[in-house]
Structure 1
Amino acid sequence: MHKKKYIRSLDELGRFVVPKQIRKDLLLGERQMLEVHCDGEKIIVEKYDNLEPCFITGESTKANHTFAFGHGNLTLSPEGIESLLGQLEKFKKSQTD
Structure 2
Amino acid sequence: MKSTGIVRKLDELGRITLPVELRRTLDIEERGQLEIFVEEDRIILQKYEPTDIFTGEKNELFDFCGKKVSKETIIELAKMAGILD
Q: Which residue of 2 aligns with 1:21?
A: 21
- Unpaired runs of 5+ residues, structure 2, are 52-57, 61-85
Q: Which residue of 1 aligns with 2:32?
A: 32
Normalised by the length of structure 2, the TM-score is 0.52
C-alpha root-mean-square deviation of aligned residues, in Å? 2.4
- Please give the residue correspondences for 1:60-75 in structure 2 after superposition, counting only pairs within 5 Å: 62=59
Q: Percent identity?
A: 34
Count of residue pairs the alignment pairs up: 53
How far has the Cα of 1:50 moved from its partner? 3.6
Question: Which of the pair is proportionally richer in helix?
Answer: 1
Q: Distance in 2 between matches of 1:26 and 1:62?
A: 20
- Unpaired runs of 5+ residues, structure 1, are 52-60, 64-97
Q: Distance in 1 between matches of 2:7 and 2:45?
A: 14
Q: Which residue of 2 aligns with 1:72?
A: none
Normalised by the length of structure 1, the TM-score is 0.47
Larger RCO (alpha carbons 8 Å, 6+ apart): 1
